[in-house]
Structure 1
């Protein structure tokens, strides 16, 4: 049973900008360039026999290409003991539209989206308690920004856990119009 998510594989220019915020704190477990992505929808474990219907439903998603840039940083959890450090993205409206369209096409399959607020971001580091205070990092990289890059596709991805962190295998890529 693969553990799946629908996401955007970042263009190299956005990866490079995001990784720029990872250099000065070597003690943290930073994501590798190959792990950087933006999750549009976490699907979780799905029986193999349902994979084809999921792929077909995603094929029907019709959203125009758009540009996206890295903009700012933040954290989930307390600033004094964060669980995730992330880079923000801008603009968020095209991502909200893409997410809503994906949700609309997956709902008839009984694949209901979680009700958590969708906060588009790129995870840079996952921290385990006791985590370090992130105030200095947040202040230092508050102005993190990249030039916009074209987003021309989204992907269905399998997450494979490993000792070195999750590996992401693209199952299928879907072009935007």
Structure 2
């Protein structure tokens, strides 16, 4: 199974970001239900290792985790660009990602070494060019009020010609801030 842990987006934020992706030129926009912020990519795991990953996350107490957007960005080569919302590296988010990584490593899982750059991928396979540049420039200051994430999850992904499909296998609630 191809697995990863990701922060689940609050519905209002997911709807807002999915709306931005719908107006992109070409490529494949992710649907509202597929938007997430990857915390750790685990890669291909067999059933026993997947259960160890789920168990490692089960006892993790975390929260609150605030999501604060800082505009849009893109990466990749022309014709294979991805558009993403940049997420501020808030202490709660960084702490969750770090503590989850420590628990996974403690369970014997080997995680790919990569720098954590919080973002939410909105679309893949974009052509680039002036239309995409205008959308990124128009949203460079995208900064809705911060929102609290309610959970993170263990996800499975399947790769298809038109992009990945995701299934949430398990949810892990986060401690929400007092209002």
Q: Does the TM-score normalized on the shorter chain lie above 0.5? A: yes
1:132 equivalent to 2:128? Answer: yes
Measured in 2, the distance between the counterparts of 1:91 and 1:14 equals 17
Query: Per-residue deviation at 1:155?
Result: 0.4
The equivalent residue for 2:42 is 43
The equivalent residue for 1:11 is 10
The equivalent residue for 2:158 is 160
Measured in 2, the distance between the counterparts of 1:101 and 1:52 equals 18
Measured in 2, the distance between the counterparts of 1:18 and 1:82 equals 20
- Where 2:20 maps in the other structure, the secondary structure is coil
Query: Per-residue deviation at 1:83?
Result: 2.5
The equivalent residue for 1:29 is 28
Query: Per-residue deviation at 1:91?
Result: 4.8
| Contact kept in structure 1, 2:66 and 2:146, CA below 8 Å | yes
Measured in 2, the distance between the counterparts of 1:30 and 1:18 equals 10
State the number of aligned residues: 173
With normalisation by structure 2, the TM-score equals: 0.86
The equivalent residue for 1:93 is 91
Query: Per-residue deviation at 1:3?
Result: 0.6
Measured in 2, the distance between the counterparts of 1:22 and 1:47 equals 34
Measured in 1, the distance between the counterparts of 2:104 and 2:19 equals 36
Query: Per-residue deviation at 1:72?
Result: 0.5
**Runs of 4+ that moved beyond 6 A:** none
Query: Per-residue deviation at 1:111?
Result: 1.5
| Contact kept in structure 2, 1:155 and 1:170, CA below 8 Å | yes
Q: CA RMSD in A?
A: 2.0
Query: Per-residue deviation at 1:45?
Result: 0.6
- Where 2:128 maps in the other structure, the secondary structure is coil
Deviation string, structure 1 residues 90-120 (Cα, Å, up to 9, x no partner): 3532211111001110112221322211001
